[in-house]
A and B are shown apart, each in its own frame.
Chain A
């Protein structure tokens, strides 16, 4: 019998070691698995490499993880925001390393990892500072840049509903990076508002099939702070 449900966010993040690469779903504050991040902070893993579209908003979520000094390196597309003060301070102090990736390359590199693709050529970034040092090729008259997949040890994502097999459906723009991150991590952990009986999710509407998901935990009333 397959049962991927775990009892608590603490149990869900158990075993994440120091130095792990951890993907975190979310765009701005939509789809951020705040309770899993809180559990990761309490768990204590350090020297993490974080993959997220942003670098934290306000004082919670990814921002709190950075404030606590747990993040050595962050891979993201848009770190600078009006309320990214914890990242800004860490970056100015030289306490955090930044790999800045165009958002489409970030999503596609994550997707590529989940799909077993070795690398891919894309026009995005060609001729810009973000392609410096990367292999390039002209394909059909257009300049392309070679981009490699981004894999992770763990992915922390937020969905709306799951079953015990780990099938997921999401809520509006909270899905963003969740479905692609789920495929790119060795262990994908989803927090959901509700777990339903096997067979209760419409198979035509399942967004992330359970094969990509390893642990599921219920957070019935998740925090969704507004962006500043």
Chain B
């Protein structure tokens, strides 16, 4: 699968602050790639560098086969970008905003525009500055989808939105995702989980891992053991066990390289034969919480 976005050792420094530190990112074409991570992880900076809003300090980035620093003018006619803190021309009415954008895009689809306006329930005669935050994002998204972009970049689009608006946005985006690559940054992991095909975890400007969502969900399990006799946790545990804790005869940990046979063998090797073993699937949120609390990424399957 070819890449819609690929970065190599991408670095961005703001004076003494390193926002991106040797980022190697690969977003396959026609995927929905979720870039997640805590606040200040460098998600927005990474997107701004990819969109040539900021210039990288080092490394390189390719977007749709172009060097990111060449992204300007006509090349933006195939990229849709929506950000939570984007400044829209507030004095324009929604209808005038769409009218204004239309001639910039040779591939603008008037029917699609009408569909999006209807779907998002956009009030065409209201000024952008008078719209709610959700409506503004929807207007921006409508103005970014109506020309069938090859790449849709969404920077924290759901922040502070009510669930209804979020659903409308996701629905609107997913309907067009089939023909485009979507890169979305968010820390709303519950929402991402429902539609992202790939996920990358960014922390302190470094990509801790990047992989398919199904693979990620498959290799993380919350393990709960009931031991025959209560006892303390051994000092040395397998490196792929995270957040291990013991209470009486119950031991809990997060397995980041889950394979039922191998994990069971490791458990037996450490604890002997437990009276009960439960392998519980984890939500994306639980996985990231576990990783954030452990302060590390998984040892296998992702990019370190």
Same complex: no
- Residues on A lying within 8 angstroms of B by beta carbon are none
